[in-house]
Structure 1
């Protein structure tokens, strides 16, 4: 039978000593990894790509760091919460998500060797579109990085607040201080090693949670009987359902274009290795998605009236998991959050030092550039804390961020890797059109930034590129006909 829920925090219990010790042990482990790498980092290249030479980091570590970076708060707490709230319209779309890795491999692997020597996405865009490409990426990257970090911080703060009863700011500060220390001082190698450990914890914690919560909910027949119709079938007579389903599926198939993922591919620089990594991650993603959907539907069946969908996972941990397992799962969620956040801290610090300061003042030494990268990472971390403490919703924050990145960057970046020629003028026109499309659709059609406005912005980018290409040809031909 469904449980009664009276308010947001639902009479949360305190964690046991065993649970707290597991969480503290995990945080100490992360600190030790970061501090152990300090002496090995001497150059900005080593800080960014983890290597003083052209040696390739093992496929296993690249698989786990890419996967862990991708599986952040959105892909765990977010998927569980959104499926709990929206039902199968969102849940079914997630099943196609593994294909995103294959699309990413197809787009980026073949020509990654062309960008050997690049340290960042900004370097790549400069090669493709000149200085305009570099600075547009720099301008959009900073708010994207701060926003995604803020989303991870917000999830961390809510979790500490829910389970420990501390104010959100204390939980945020505890988690972020550990994160900043090991990311800033350990560089990308510390991030990759902790991502490996976080990957292992993730694949232990979430399946255990799904197993316990599923049987606590009574098994499949009882879960199905208690679910509302929206979570058992899709009403295709509702046009909004069709629009959202198509938009979600389209979004799930978009290749990853964020600087963190591109940086990981630059670390490899090897076509065959990248293709192999993407295939492995596609295989790993499907069972994780199934586990998350089982958790979400099980929670919906026993607690259908939670006031906030984004606490659905916290509620289940508190109500159904035994002592010890609860601590392990909370450490798993922390691992998920931190594995995404540490990558963004590292990448953003590199972007500010290498792509902004170094370009404005080329004479600075490599050591100075490295110091700037470290301080920049710390600064971005504290900016993210400020944003998180003023944000109301994890999902709305993430959708707003995505709407001002994906539509502007996907078309020109993918075109460049696929050897589809787009001129700088066409690139700039596409960016302007996509911004217009996103803002207009959000204010007129939807009332907020969401998956539909993102897809509209992406279509506007394509329209902008095509318009500039053929308009320029028409104007050019018309000019010559009249004057010559």
Structure 2
């Protein structure tokens, strides 16, 4: 546990109270499922950039990045830029086309355009699994942070942090999520650079830090081969591409220019942010080479920041985890109602009834996530396993639909099967030769089969017309 003054502890408690109050206030007028899912579709580019950044910069891109840079060097920062590139590509090619889906409130709504109710239902299943897995990982990390910073037991930390999220997420949906994300982004964007600046200053300047860092940490290929780096770069680029919380951000404004700019700004922001969080790992390495790498950021916070400022930065670290958790919780509940329940009914739920179902789904999912994180942690690995199959199953057909390409349900099912086989065959049977991630093989297999099957089916009517003329 870090030793915090009463001022620091009160700062953290005040922050948590502000998050809860802001979330409840922002969501007080949510009246139907569409409002709960996409919050009126009237946000501006800066708000979109802030909420998107707060959603994707979770514990893995902060404390996890610092830990990896502590052990492996700057290569991890450069690999993470694959994620940044992905955001810029989405801003350029996909965000401008979001206007084609003016009533969409979920990924399943997009998939239904080409692949019908079957595609929507399958997408809903994997959306819930993916979101539940990432949610479980985030709240598990939240409990660890509460234990580290405030001395609370991990279960107590999980219940407090997740309890706050459940309250405002259940009441306000996307409106509450966006409002709290903006606050969390502001603290995040200020707090993390301050940690790095104070750390470098205490060590005598940037030149001194670079001189004392082990040489291999400043070289790209000292700890991995070019093939392994390429695999890691592509994994970061493809692994979270078009996952439900990020897709929903494409629909929270009717102004596609605002959506495109906000997405682009978010991608650009991530470039220096990944360098900053990784840089803190290097500062920790210079300060204490025998430190547990997982404690890189907390150690630097405790070592270099003045009293009072520590509480603000720690609040920012908690904000990182909470801002990801609330987005995935909201997306899971919307996907459950809109993509799983509605396709199974003869008539879909009305907007008001759907809102009630979504709130109940949020409440139940949140409490189940708490129970799982506290009591049955091994199941989180099973849920996170589903995360590895999002891109090999859903990414290719989803991107095709968002880009305006016509495709068939058979192409979707065939590509998904190929993606599953590709992942399983490469990773499990062959043992991931060369360290190349099976996720990438799965995406490629999905793309190849999806394209071939769709081309064959598109050619069938033309052949029939030629035969009829003959």
Separation (CA, whole Å) in 1 of partners of 2:409 and 2:89: 25
Q: Does 2:65 correspond to 1:76? A: no
Please tell me whether the aligned partners of residues 84 and 297 of structure 1 are also in contact (alpha carbons under 8 angstroms): yes
- Over 3 Å counting, the alpha-carbon distance change for 1:245 and 1:209 in structure 2 is same
Q: Does 2:323 correspond to 1:339? A: yes
Q: C-alpha deviations, 1:10-64, integer Å up to 9, x for none?
A: xx4332211111111111111112322454111111211212xxx6223222221
Give 3-state SS (helix, strand or coil) of 2:252's partner.
helix
1:433 deviates by: 1.3
Aligned to 2:303: 319
- Over 3 Å counting, the alpha-carbon distance change for 1:25 and 1:297 in structure 2 is same
TM-score under structure 2 normalisation? Answer: 0.89
Aligned to 1:6: none
1:252 deviates by: 4.1
1:142 deviates by: 1.1
RMSD (Å), alpha carbons: 3.1
Match of 1:265 among 250, 270, 273: 250
Aligned positions of 1:458-477 closer than 5 A: 458-469=443-454
1:331 deviates by: 0.4
Separation (CA, whole Å) in 1 of partners of 2:304 and 2:190: 17
Q: Does 2:335 correspond to 1:351? A: yes
Match of 1:434 among 419, 423, 428: 419
Aligned to 2:402: 417
Aligned to 1:224: 210
Match of 2:314 among 313, 330, 333: 330
Aligned to 2:192: 206
Please tell me whether the aligned partners of residues 403 and 457 of structure 1 are also in contact (alpha carbons under 8 angstroms): no
Aligned to 1:87: 73
Aligned to 2:139: 153
Please tell me whether the aligned partners of residues 213 and 320 of structure 1 are also in contact (alpha carbons under 8 angstroms): yes
Aligned to 2:264: 279
- Consecutive unaligned residues of structure 1, counting only runs of 5 or more, are 1-11
Deviates more, 1:282-291 or 1:90-99: 90-99
Q: C-alpha deviations, 1:328-381, integer Å up to 9, x for none?
A: 111001111111111111222122222222333336443322111011112222
Please tell me whether the aligned partners of residues 213 and 316 of structure 1 are also in contact (alpha carbons under 8 angstroms): yes
Q: Does 2:234 correspond to 1:250? A: yes
| Runs of 4+ with deviation above 4 angstroms | 390-394, 396-399, 445-448, 469-481
Aligned to 1:367: 352
Please tell me whether the aligned partners of residues 120 and 259 of structure 1 are also in contact (alpha carbons under 8 angstroms): yes
Separation (CA, whole Å) in 1 of partners of 2:315 and 2:383: 23
Q: Does 2:142 correspond to 1:169? A: no
1:468 deviates by: 3.3
Match of 2:361 among 376, 384, 399: 376
Match of 1:67 among 53, 56, 61: 53
Q: Does 2:27 correspond to 1:27? A: no
Please tell me whether the aligned partners of residues 251 and 451 of structure 1 are also in contact (alpha carbons under 8 angstroms): no
Separation (CA, whole Å) in 1 of partners of 2:14 and 2:252: 30
Separation (CA, whole Å) in 2 of partners of 1:26 and 1:138: 34
1:76 deviates by: 1.4
